[in-house]
């Protein structure tokens, strides 16, 4: 029996007959060159046990593949000569192939997500250009570009991820198409003069391309990492925060020197150049199967009746409704404190930098502790930090800085816990894990899309874009507490964010209790 730290080589003699769900044998699996195997593509790490079985007609050795972890045996070719039927798999959790994939996935994460998260810099530049600012509904439509660019990536999850789970042989092609769409969308947006064209290109088309580029990363992850999957997920998710930390220092000088459109053109080319060496390493651990076997129907829909799953969906959704608000409004809040632009940039940079540390810490811990316990602790502490550090002492620069760092570490690593949660639902089925990941993306995306209108209605400021452009009402009062800043205009906003995390903590507590009870019964 091979281990994960060595190259796995499997020689297959005559394959055992396919078994149906009732345990009866119904003949051998069929071989089809055109289609994938649902069963074969549902497993990534397995053990091999050899059974010596002298059959009446051939007397060949039968080797049975037993699924134990996360991905399935894939047969690259089948020959009547058993010595020709070999499958070599790279090791999981270690080795050049696994770590090179992780580096490539980190680069993809950084490039795909950092542009939407840094859109506020472009928004300020667009609002300062008469060509865009003087168009009808500019203050409403221009912020929509950033919302759509990230929102589409989230909301297309239930479409893209199930398709990749069903047709895993097309994952690499999907990633390349996504890279081209991201490049074309940004390049095209750099030449347009109409806001509606910006919405279509830099918003919608970029989101579609980003989703197609990003989804294969998540699908490949469960094949390459098993024991260290939480840590690997944390490293990948550090990419978006790292990009959010770097771009705020790169974009303003470029925009001042070249303007928003030319800067976008430069970035589109840079994005494609950076992706070119990374995408070849974005590959599956297993080749696409050429074996058609019976589908693993049993258990595929068991999650629909699992209360823990629905508790996770609710917790994830409530968390998302609160999470994106500070990222959206922190610059406006800093402006209300009459802070300099450099101080505002520092506060944002520290929040993004801390958000890069959070995934790594939670990813490491999720391999060792219950994700429900980690969710309970992070949501509880984030709620306390919001009420105390933002609401009470946020009226001073030091308090705002500490809040940004605490918020980034505690809340920034939330999505890293998904891999830990999905272990209990998908078990040894990465296709199911990919499917469920898409639904988690959708539930979190609701908060991403709706946080702007909800938070705007809760504050007395017209919108963050108006405040950033300098066309809104100037703030005169810093206040005695963070709740009192700008004559209390952010009080409801702070209470809303803290309450969202408190609500998520309550749901996490229920989920943790249910998880412990289930373990006791088992």
Nearest CA-CA partner of 332 in 451, 458, 450, 469 = 469
Q: Rounded mean pLDDT of 267-285?
A: 94
pLDDT at 269 over 90: yes
Q: How long is the chain?
A: 522
The string of pLDDT tens digits covering residues 322-348 is 999 888 888 888 888 888 777 877 887
pLDDT at 33 over 60: no
* Mean pLDDT computed over every residue of the chain: 78
Q: What is the pLDDT of residue 471?
A: 43
Q: What is the pLDDT of residue 285?
A: 84
Architecture of domain 296-464+473-522 in this structure: Up-down Bundle (1.20)
The string of pLDDT tens digits covering residues 222-246 is 888 888 888 899 999 888 888 878 8
Lowest mean pLDDT of 257-271, 302-316, 449-463, 485-499, name the range. 449-463
Nearest CA-CA partner of 289 in 31, 61, 481 = 31
Q: Fill in the DSSP letter of residue 482.
A: G
d(C-alpha 149, C-alpha 182), whole Å: 10
d(C-alpha 513, C-alpha 515), whole Å: 5
To 10 degrees, what angle do helices 397-411 and 307-336 make?
Answer: 160
Q: How confident is the model at residue 479 (pLDDT cuts 50, 70, 90)?
A: low
d(C-alpha 146, C-alpha 393), whole Å: 30
d(C-alpha 160, C-alpha 320), whole Å: 20
Nearby residues of 477 by Cβ (< 8 Å), 6 or more positions away? 484, 485, 486, 487
């Amino acid at each position: 029996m091979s281990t994960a730290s060595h190259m796995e080589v499997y020689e297959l003699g005559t394959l055992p007959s396919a078994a149906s769900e009732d345990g009866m044998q119904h003949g051998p699996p069929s071989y089809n060159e055109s289609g994938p195997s649902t069963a074969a593509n549902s497993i990534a790490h397995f053990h091999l046990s050899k059974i010596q079985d002298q059959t009446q007609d051939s007397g060949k050795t039968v080797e049975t593949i037993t699924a134990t972890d996360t991905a399935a045996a894939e047969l690259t070719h089948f020959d009547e000569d058993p010595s020709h039927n070999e499958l070599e798999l790279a090791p999981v959790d270690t080795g050049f192939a696994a770590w090179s994939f992780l580096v490539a996935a980190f680069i993809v994460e950084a490039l795909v997500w950092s542009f939407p998260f840094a859109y506020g810099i472009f928004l300020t530049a667009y609002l300062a250009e008469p060509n865009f600012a003087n168009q009808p509904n500019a203050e409403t439509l221009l912020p929509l570009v950033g919302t759509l660019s990230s929102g589409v990536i989230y909301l297309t999850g239930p479409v893209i991820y199930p398709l990749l789970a069903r047709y895993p042989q097309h994952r690499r092609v999907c990633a390349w198409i996504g890279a081209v769409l991201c490049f074309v969308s940004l390049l095209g947006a750099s030449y347009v003069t109409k806001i509606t064209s910006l919405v279509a290109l830099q918003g919608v088309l970029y989101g579609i391309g980003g989703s197609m580029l990003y989804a294969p990363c998540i699908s490949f992850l469960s094949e390459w990492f098993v024991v260290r999957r939480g840590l690997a997920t944390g490293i990948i998710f550090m990419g978006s925060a790292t990009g959010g930390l770097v771009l705020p220092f790169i974009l303003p000088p470029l925009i001042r020197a070249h303007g928003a459109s030319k800067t976008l053109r430069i970035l589109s080319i840079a994005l494609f150049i950076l992706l070119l060496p990374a995408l070849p390493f974005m590959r599956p651990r297993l080749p696409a199967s050429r074996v058609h076997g019976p589908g693993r129907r049993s258990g595929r829909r068991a999650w629909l009746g699992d209360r823990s799953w629905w508790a996770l969906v609710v917790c994830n959704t409530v968390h998302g409704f609160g999470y994106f608000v500070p990222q959206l409004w922190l610059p406006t809040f800093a402006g209300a404190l009459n802070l300099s632009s450099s101080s505002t940039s520092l506060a944002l940079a520290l929040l993004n930098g801390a958000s890069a540390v959070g995934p790594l810490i939670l990813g490491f811990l999720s391999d060792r502790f219950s994700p429900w316990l980690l969710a309970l602790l992070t949501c509880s502490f984030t709620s306390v930090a919001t009420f105390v550090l933002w609401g009470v002492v946020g009226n001073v620069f030091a308090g705002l800085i500490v809040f940004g760092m605490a918020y980034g570490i505690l809340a920034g690593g939330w999505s890293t816990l998904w891999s830990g949660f999905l272990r209990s639902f998908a078990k040894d089925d990465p296709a199911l894990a990919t499917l469920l990941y898409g639904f988690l993306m959708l539930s979190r995306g609701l908060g991403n899309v709706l946080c702007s209108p909800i938070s705007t209605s809760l504050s007395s400021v017209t919108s963050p874009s108006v405040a950033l452009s300098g066309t809104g009402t100037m703030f005169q009062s810093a206040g005695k507490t963070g709740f009192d800043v700008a004559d209390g205009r952010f009080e409801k906003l702070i209470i809303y964010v803290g309450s969202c995390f408190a609500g998520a903590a309550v749901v996490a507590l229920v989920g943790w209790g249910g998880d412990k009870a289930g373990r006791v019964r088992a």
